[in-house]
Amino acid sequence: MDDEKEKIRQKIKSIKRLPTLPEVARKISKMVEDDKTSATELARIISTNTAISERVLRLVNSSFYGFPDRISSMSNAIIFLGFDVVKSLIICVAVFEMMEKGMPGLWEHSLGCTIVSRLIAKKVKGCDPEEISVAGMLHDIGKVVVSIQLAEDYQEIKKTIAEKKINFLKAEKEVLELTHEDLGGWLAESWHLPAGLREPIACHHYPQQARQAILATAIVHLADFLVRAVGHGSGGDPWVPVLNHNAWERLGLSMEDLEEIIFDFCDELESLESEGLL
């Protein structure tokens, strides 16, 4: 079992590229050229793409730039590096594009969690909505790994979900003896992502396991639940995950807050659609 885990860990470490959307990359590149584009606007658009935002942050945090502190939000990356550098990074990412078909609906799900995580974070004291939205985008990155890098196991997981009527997480445990939380956590670790991103990725189904980014993990947990409950995108199975009572309590939100979040979420989806990003 330990040997098996080690084998998968090595496989994950060897991953060089993740899928991305070339059209979005082109749009971002155009926006950078427009003098009227603000850093916040650009950060918002870049953060809607898992592969691009993750790769850009990975590069920004690499020793190449050598910033003394980790930069975990896209807005900060743009402020520190400037539009032109960010544009170059995006072009690099687009050139090394590996357009593979991952899990249908996962992109929409991740985008939904990006938006909802930010909306929740705005209502909770002591949070950085920008960083938490990136965490929302990346939380299921382990599923991208499963569907692309472990394609055979992924087929087996899909079969297990259908036959046993169990959720993705349980099916992963049966087939891989590991979950996308484990895989995503390892990935985040090997890319040296900060705890603010790492823990929501590694603990979003069990937020009680977070030690440092407790609020961020609780927010991403709730965002995941809400996006699934609303029915936007797909997490790989037809069920809504169980909401952790302690995580909900910790955020101290009211039912009115919740209504507002869902309302604003639908609004933001509409504007992204009109921008051609959905």
Binding footprint of Fe ion on the chain (CB under 5 A): 140, 224, 235
| 87 vs 221, beta carbon nearer Fe ion | 221
128 neighbors 195 (Cβ within 8 angstroms):
no
Nearest CA to 139 out of 192, 77, 78, 205 is that of 205
Cβ closest to Fe ion, residue 151 vs residue 229? 229
Q: Give the nearest distance from C-beta 170 to Fe ion in angstroms.
A: 12
d(CA 181, CA 184): 5
DSSP string for 11-64: HHHT-------HHHHHHHHHHHHSTT--HHHHHHHHHT-HHHHHHHHHHHTSTT
Q: Please report how close the Cβ of residue 49 comes to Fe ion at its closest, in angstroms.
A: 16
Helix (H) or strand (E) holding 6: helix 2-13
Residue identified by tokens 């590069």 is 59
Residue 116 Cβ vs Fe ion, minimum distance, rounded to whole Å: 11
Closest to Fe ion by CB, 83 vs 239, is 239
The tokens for 266 are 């639908």
Token pair of 5, please? 């885990």
Nearer to Fe ion, 140 or 268 (CB): 140
Q: 76: burial class by Cβ within 10 Å (0-12, 13-18, 19+)?
A: buried
Whether the Cβ atoms of residue 200 and residue 217 lie closer than 8 Å to each other: yes
**Are 180 and 170 within 8 A, CB to CB?**
no
Min dist CB 206 to Fe ion, Å, is 10
Q: Given the complex with Fe ion, which of 140 and 199 has the nearer CB atom?
A: 140
Kindly state the tokens that stand for 88. Answer: 């170059």
CB of 177 to Fe ion, least distance (A): 17
Confirm if 199 and 216 have CB atoms less than 8 A apart: yes
Rounded to the nearest whole angstrom, what is the least distance from the CB of residue 187 to Fe ion in the complex?
13
Looking at the Cβ atoms of 129 and 235, the one nearer to Fe ion is 235
Residue the block writes with tokens 């869902």: 262
User: Which one, 87 or 143, has the nearer CB to Fe ion?
Assistant: 143
Give least dist CB 125 to Fe ion, A.
25
